[in-house]
Each structure stands twice: as C-alpha cells, then as structure tokens.
Amino acid sequence: MHQLAISPCPNDTFAFFALLKGKTTWKEPLNLRFADIAELNTLCFGGDIQFCKVSFHAWLTLRDGFQLLDSGSALGFGCGPLVVSRTLKDPKDLVHGTIAIPGRFTTATLLLKLLLGKDLNLVEMRFDKIMPAVEAGEVDAGLIIHESRFTYQDHGLVSLIDLGDWWERETGHPIPLGGIVAARSLPQEIVTRFGHALRESIDYAWQNREEVTPFMQEHAQEMDLKVMQAHVDLYVNGYTRELGTEGRAAIDDLVNRARLAGLCP
C-alpha cells in the first residue's frame, strides 16, 4: 500500500477529496497521514513516504529522491507569507529581534532569508502557535502562513512584510509555496496515474464544492467556514491543476535565487 501524506489545510483536503473517496481513476488503497507542513518536510527527509505534500524549500534538497508532480501545487499571486508583530513598527528592526518561523525548511523561511539575509534570530514552532506567541510577547515577530493571513489582525498584530508582494515585485512570478512530490523509487507508470487522478480530483472539487465542504471542515477543525472558503479561493487555482510553463518558471527562479544565496545545494 502506498503512503500518502498531506496537510489538513483546506487547499489539500479540497484537492484530494475525490481521489481519496474513490471518485477518480485511481482505485488503489492509500495509507493516508495528515501532518503539519514542517512535519511533512521531515517525513520526506526520512525517505519512507511515496506521495507527499512538501515545501518547495525542502524539495530543493530532496530533488534526487522525489519528483514534483504537475498537479497539487500551491502557487499564486497575493498569497505569500507575512511577517507580523505587535511591538515592532519598522521592518529594519527584524534583523535584531526574534522571529518565530513555521519550520526550517518551509518556503516562507527561505523567502525571509532571501530578503533579510541568513543571520537572523529564528525560533521554530508550529504555524498555529506563532500568532499567540507574538501576541504574548514571547517573540518579537512571527512568520505566518496558511489561514493566519486572514486572522492576524484579530490578535492585535500588524503586517511588517508581505513576502508574496516582495516576491511578485522582484520576479514577476507567482509565489511558489509547496507541491506534491512522488518518490523516484516508484514506477513511473504509477506516478503518472496518480498525477492524472489528482488532476481529476481537483476538477471534481471545483465542480462539487458543496460536497467537498464537510470533508474540509472535518480536518480544518475549528476554522471558520468563511476563512476556509477564502483559503481555498486563494491557494487553489490554475497552477494547482497544472503548473504549466509559468509555474515551473517561478520554481526555477526560486531554485536559482536560493543557490546564489547559498541556501540550497
């Protein structure tokens, strides 16, 4: 049985619903695991997973062992990570403060280093623990991802940097955040069938959003329905269905910038 690991975030459960429920051409059983993106990256580094959601930052190191599928990725405009704070008012102050990050190998952390440099005082924690930590004054700032961009103001926080806005102005590309990878040890025929079924699954979800919603709610736990729908609208788009030339160009640009900065092999 093949191992599949994805996040419980609405964009992943939306995309995989039909595949997991037997509504696509993929009929083989899957051993499914849900995990936070930092844990998913760690699973891939462990090498015992066949299909997995992974940060593009992590994939830059994992490319010899995993191939990137053409479907399932999170890229887009206006959807980048934010650096938020309660006390700091100037982005220049970040180089002297403590910044909570959602994982060493998240793309958000890579983008932060590309902008501000490698010599930062970073503290790793789960993405959903970051805003409370900033609000409580445990850290000076936080690098937030996922649905946090919709709710940070509820915690009395302000945005100091929009890394997506910076990336778009700097490169002209959509911001590449994460994708679905397959182990290179798998037969290519299986990888191709899985990728095709994932595209079918995304198409099914777009055409049957009301059917998919309860599944997303089940795994999004206490997320507000409006926030969940906004999450899907932001992170599931044409690049999710198919990376295409523009999507792959954005990823190539990220690879090249990371290499020049000494942040990936």
- Considering 2, 57, 96, 146, which one is annotated as catalytic? 146
- Quote the pLDDT of residue 64: 94
Assess whether the region 2-76+175-260 and the region 82-171 belong to the same CATH fold: yes
Query: pLDDT digit string (tens) for 201-255?
Result: 999 999 999 999 999 999 986 678 888 998 899 999 999 999 999 999 999 999 9
Predicted confidence at residue 151, as pLDDT, reads 86
| Cβ partners under 8 Å of residue 136, min gap 6 | none
What does each C-alpha distance from 138 to 133, 161, 209 come to in angstroms? 5, 19, 39
The backbone torsions φ and ψ at residue 231, rounded to the nearest 5 degrees and listed phi first, read -60, -50
Domain boundaries, the chain: 2-76+175-260, 82-171
Across the range 129-133, mean pLDDT stands at 95
* Res 222: pLDDT: 63
Domain 82-171 falls under CATH 3.40.190.10: yes
Question: What local confidence, expressed as pLDDT, does residue 265 receive?
Answer: 75
**146 classed as catalytic:** yes
- Per-residue pLDDT tens over the stretch 223-235: 788 889 988 999 9
Whole-prediction pTM? 0.94
Q: How confident is the model at residue 146 (pLDDT cuts 50, 70, 90)?
A: confident
The predicted pLDDT at position 227 comes to: 87
- What backbone torsions phi and psi does residue 52 show, to the nearest 5 degrees? -155, 145
**pLDDT averaged over every residue in the chain:** 94
**CA atoms of 47 and 42, how far apart (whole Å):** 9
Instruction: Return phi, psi of residue 224, to 5°.
Output: -60, 140
Which residues have CB under 8 Å from 113's CB, separation 6+? 120, 261, 263
Q: Are 111 and 167 in contact (CB under 8 A)?
A: yes
* Distance of alpha carbon 156 from alpha carbon 153, whole angstroms: 5
Q: Which CATH architecture has domain 2-76+175-260?
A: 3-Layer(aba) Sandwich (3.40)
- Average pLDDT (24-37) is 95
